[in-house]
């Protein structure tokens, strides 16, 4: 068992996923449990095609927790298969089937088969923000520097 805090999560296997294993962790140190494709026939994702792939499960998370559906790095690196909404968030009050929005960013069609590991599920605690409007924010070294701005000033001063 890993050193992570265990949390009990209720899970229902839907009829089309009855014969598939429940999500499981591949190693003792894995953060994500594998989600499997609960499909009756192979699906082929063409280049730039996306589709919601069912997993055959529904879950009930305790309040204060979320589940993040994340891409599998091997599928992304080898085949260009990722998720259109990575990470997908499952809220504690959602009771529908867990679906994975896969997209093929590769150049070749990709075949999804029943029971294939298509994504991973990470369960995490979350905080709920209480917004406090103020007239201005405290100053930081980064300030309002946007996308790609961290480390830019340090790099520029090293080149001079």
Q: What is the CATH number of the domain that holds 19?
A: 2.70.40.10
Pairwise CA distance, residues 56 & 115, whole Å: 10
pLDDT at 112 over 60: yes
Confidence of residue 4 (pLDDT cuts 50, 70, 90): confident
Confidence of residue 139 (pLDDT cuts 50, 70, 90): very high
Asked if the structure places residue 4 within a domain, the reply is no
In a domain? residue 117: yes
Residue 148 binned pLDDT confidence (cut-offs 50, 70, 90): confident
* 52 falls within a domain: yes
Please, what is the end-to-end C-alpha distance for the chain in angstroms? 52
pLDDT value at 89 more than 80: yes
| Confidence (pLDDT) at 113 | 98
- Residue-number span of the structural domain to which 111 is assigned: 10-128
Domain count, the chain: 1
Q: How high is the pLDDT of residue 155?
A: 63
- Min mean pLDDT across 56-65, 75-84, 134-143 is at 134-143
Answer yes or no: is pLDDT of 154 > 80: no
Q: Is residue 1 part of a domain?
A: no
Sign of the torsion formed by the C-alpha atoms of 113, 23, 85 and 151: negative
- Who has greater pLDDT, 109 or 155? 109
Reported as a single tens digit per residue, the pLDDT across 14-32 is 999 999 999 999 999 999 9
Q: Is residue 154, in this structure, part of any structural domain at all? A: no
Report whether pLDDT(2) > 80. no
């Amino acid at each position: 068992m890993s050193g992570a805090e265990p949390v009990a999560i209720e899970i229902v296997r839907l009829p089309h996923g009855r014969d598939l294993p429940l999500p499981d962790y591949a190693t003792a140190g894995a953060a994500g449990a594998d989600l499997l494709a609960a499909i009756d026939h192979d699906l082929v994702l063409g280049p730039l095609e996306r589709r919601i792939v069912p997993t055959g499960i529904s879950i009930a998370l305790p309040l204060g927790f979320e589940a993040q559906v994340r891409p599998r790095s091997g599928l992304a690196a080898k085949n260009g298969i990722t998720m259109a909404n990575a990470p997908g968030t499952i809220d504690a009050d959602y009771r529908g089937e867990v679906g994975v929005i896969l997209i093929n960013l590769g150049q070749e069609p990709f075949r999804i088969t029943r029971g294939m590991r298509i994504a991973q599920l990470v369960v995490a605690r979350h905080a709920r923000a209480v917004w406090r409007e103020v007239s201005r924010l405290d100053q930081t070294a980064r300030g309002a520097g946007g996308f790609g701005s961290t480390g830019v000033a340090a790099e520029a001063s090293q080149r001079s």
